[in-house]
């Protein structure tokens, strides 16, 4: 069974307050998303496989370890793009692949409009989306990444709703979910409460 990890850290709480505040300007909102993503990625990558590597320091030879194997980042468009750069800072060699969904406002179901994968999948992938609300896009995204051939998948989100967490766990019990906060519930319009509004609109200043 995959893990559900909700971060508990003073810096997470601090930056979440910035995100939630309705009058936070877009550039500050983007910065906070990236800082929180760094903290999420630090936690989510703790079990990455490594291989030994000997390097020469200015003084002697040192036995080191480096990350082993290909890693893919799969931001769900468009809001997931706001998280991507932060993970790339930690894993510069990571490959970036894209999935695009929009929500049908009548059915509240995800509709795929874009997919960009290679012929050869990485061994591990991190699916990135700031908001895990109904879980529809997350489940569809994880399913497509599995069909691509990725064996180990983790979901990174800044804010999650309990309903979305349970949907992903029911559909993909092998997937780890990392969230900065799991909020109270979804409202009748499928927005997370208390949440932070629409992450994509706030990241890209399209309110």
Domains defined for the chain, CATH in brackets: 4-204 (3.40.50.2020)
Question: Which residue, chain included where needed, has tokens 């992938």?
Answer: 125
* Tens-digit pLDDT profile for residues 86-133: 999 999 999 999 988 777 777 767 778 888 888 899 999 999 999 999
- CA 69 to CA 94: how far, in whole Å? 10
Residues noted as catalytic: 103, 107, 198, 201
Q: Could you tell me if residue 42 is left (phi over 0), alpha (psi between -120 and 50 degrees) or otherwise beta?
A: alpha
Question: What does the pLDDT read at residue 146?
Answer: 95
DSSP labels, 158-191:
EEE-HHHHHHHHHH-TT-EEEEEEE-SEE-TTS-
- CA 163 to CA 149: how far, in whole Å? 27
Is pTM beyond 0.75 here?
Answer: yes
- pLDDT tens for the chain, 207 residues long, are 789 999 999 999 999 999 999 999 999 999 999 999 999 999 999 999 999 999 999 999 999 999 999 999 999 988 999 999 999 999 999 999 998 877 777 776 777 888 888 889 999 999 999 999 999 989 999 999 999 999 999 999 999 999 999 999 999 999 999 999 999 999 988 899 999 989 988 999 897
């Amino acid at each position: 069974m995959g893990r559900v990890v909700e971060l508990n850290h003073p810096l997470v709480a601090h930056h979440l307050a910035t995100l939630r505040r309705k009058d936070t300007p877009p550039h500050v909102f983007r910065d906070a998303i990236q800082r929180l993503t760094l903290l999420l990625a630090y936690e989510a990558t703790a079990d990455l496989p490594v291989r030994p590597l000997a390097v020469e320091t200015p003084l002697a030879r040192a036995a080191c370890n480096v990350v082993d194997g290909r890693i893919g980042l799969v931001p769900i468009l468009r809001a997931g793009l706001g998280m991507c750069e932060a993970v790339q800072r930690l894993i510069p060699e990571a490959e970036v692949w894209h999935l695009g969904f929009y929500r049908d406002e009548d059915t509240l179901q995800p509709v795929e409009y874009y997919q960009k994968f290679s012929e050869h999948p990485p061994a591990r992938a991190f699916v990135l989306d700031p908001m895990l609300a109904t879980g529809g896009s997350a489940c569809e995204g994880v399913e497509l990444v599995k069909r691509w051939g990725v064996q180990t998948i983790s979901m990174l989100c800044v804010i999650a709703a309990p309903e979305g967490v349970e949907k992903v766990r029911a559909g993909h019990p092998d997937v780890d979910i990392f969230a900065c906060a799991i909020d109270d519930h979804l409202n009748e319009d499928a927005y997370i409460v208390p949440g932070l509004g629409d992450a994509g609109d706030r990241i890209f200043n399209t309110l």
